[in-house]
Structure 1
């Protein structure tokens, strides 16, 4: 088995929220309203825009109207900006690339968040290529998402490893023929290093040596 490229998910793998966004969303509601149902409504409304269908901002506005939320749309949308890349995780990506292993971003995002990640924060500098679901017109866990990427990078599925924090997405990748593993940042970046090392990839299991 030779892994010739690695696909990394974004949320939960290389970046994490900087606020408790679900708790914040709950503050926008009346006491008699269910925060869990509100969050579910928002997540469901996001679905079409992840595949490039419809405008995420319009979808959120419709949810706020349905729940009679008076908080301005811009304030609600700002929660989707409250995240940050984890330097130790980015170091892993750069270490692999420096060793000659192509690394690609493979993430479900709507255009609003893609603009933040790709255009404002220049995530593309950390990866050989970036694949956002809203651009591909299909989202994980659909096997078609992964097959589109394989065609773009011209790799056989058995030569590619995919890392994601969502088991359903990992199952979709495996259905498409890729090697795939579940990892979440809460496990610690050393676990990610060990996982990659287990696939024979040129990565230090304890991080870069001091002074390098």
Structure 2
């Protein structure tokens, strides 16, 4: 049985619409004598990350916990806080080809939602990156209190999009999120880069 044509798009933020240059963190780590990749490793430890993604702590508290974990490595709490602050001053870059696709889809009548596991800093990031008004809805895990790949997250996203799951196409760069979306009844595509845009245009049929 053929699926219904998607009339809404749920787009992941990090790794799809926003890109991160790993060289930025590497510069900070070298400057402070840290091992390569340690900032991301500490920040992404699940016990530290999960509370901020569900709104139990805010972004600043999360980063304080990262600095606390780094303090011994850099010699003092002050240096640790400075390293984290320098690292966090970079907020990524918009993928302009993906943004052009978003604009094109919306112009064709497709509702586009940003579906992301994010912190309370998301709105400020969207503003800083010039993305305010570029999306129909924003579904932030820290606001709704549940994160991908939980079915409750995707249910909330479909409600926000005012579109039944069978008519929502989710695009994410993580396999676990794609599986979660499919389990919740959405169509889902694992993002592999700009070459995928042709397929997505065909899937949306506009």
The answer to whether the Cα contact below 8 Å between 1:146 and 1:176 also exists between their aligned partners in 2 is yes
**Partner-residue secondary structure (3-state), 1:67:** helix
Unpaired runs of 5+ in structure 1? 203-212
Distance in 2 (alpha carbons) for counterparts of 1:75 and 1:22 = 10
Distance in 1 (alpha carbons) for counterparts of 2:42 and 2:30 = 16
Q: 2:135 aligns with which of 121, 127, 130?
A: 127
Distance in 2 (alpha carbons) for counterparts of 1:25 and 1:46 = 21
Distance 1:83 1:36, change over 3 A: closer
Q: 1:195 aligns with which of 192, 196, 199?
A: 199
Distance in 2 (alpha carbons) for counterparts of 1:49 and 1:5 = 28
Distance in 2 (alpha carbons) for counterparts of 1:13 and 1:53 = 26
Distance in 1 (alpha carbons) for counterparts of 2:81 and 2:159 = 38
Q: 2:68 aligns with which of 65, 80, 91?
A: 65
> Which residue in 2 is equivalent to 1:103?
112
1:136 deviates by: 1.3
1:30 deviates by: 4.5
Distance 1:12 1:66, change over 3 A: closer
> Which residue in 2 is equivalent to 1:27?
30
Report Cα offsets for 1:71-118 as digits up to 9, x if no partner: 353552443433111211110000011111111111111112x13323
> Which residue in 2 is equivalent to 1:170?
178
Unpaired runs of 5+ in structure 2? none
1:122 deviates by: 4.4
Query: Is 1:91 paired with 2:100?
Result: yes
Distance in 1 (alpha carbons) for counterparts of 2:144 and 2:189 = 22
Distance 1:161 1:144, change over 3 A: same
The answer to whether the Cα contact below 8 Å between 2:53 and 2:147 also exists between their aligned partners in 1 is yes
> What is the TM-score of this pair, normalised by structure 2?
0.83
Aligned residues: 195
> Which residue in 1 is equivalent to 2:58?
55
1:193 deviates by: 1.8
Distance in 1 (alpha carbons) for counterparts of 2:108 and 2:81 = 45
**Partner-residue secondary structure (3-state), 2:188:** strand
Distance 1:201 1:115, change over 3 A: same
